[in-house]
Amino acid sequence: MLESYGPVLILILLSSALAALVLGLSSIMGPRGLGRGARDTYESGIIPTTSARQRFPVRFALLAMLFLVFDIEVIFFYPWAVIFRRLGLYGLIEMLLFIGLLFVGYIYAFKKGALNWE
């Protein structure tokens, strides 16, 4: 029984050795000190005009979270579409309920003004 774990142990040892090798080489070959611009904020190559510690409105975070929630829920459409024919009417009804719940959540967020960008 323990013989079946041999390849797994070899894989763990090889991956650990590779990680140690890469970390060792990067510490030997990498730069030593911080350059003049290493502590500056990077804004797509543009010189920053304001502080990087400015406050963002809560609406930005709320909209980002809503996007993530709806985006992650849409991922469930792909496996459903792959086995759609095998699920039959039951699968169709379940997906329609799921889409209905998504739509109710979207309407709720719209009515609360979470999707308004000012």
Tell me the average pLDDT of the chain.
Answer: 85
87 in helix, strand or coil? helix
Q: How far is CA 19 from CA 16, 61, 71, in A?
A: 5, 36, 34
Mean pLDDT within 2-18: 93
DSSP-assigned beta bridge partners for residue 54: none
| Cα 68 versus chain centre, distance | 8
Least confident of 20-24, 33-37, 95-99, 112-116: 33-37
Q: How many domains is the chain built from?
A: 1
Q: Which pTM value belongs to this model?
A: 0.49
Return d(Cα 66, Cα 72) in angstroms, integer: 10
Q: What CATH number corresponds to the domain at position 103?
A: 1.20.58.1610
Is there a domain that residue 77 lies in? yes
pLDDT at residue 97 greater than cutoff 70: yes
Return d(Cα 48, Cα 69) in angstroms, integer: 32
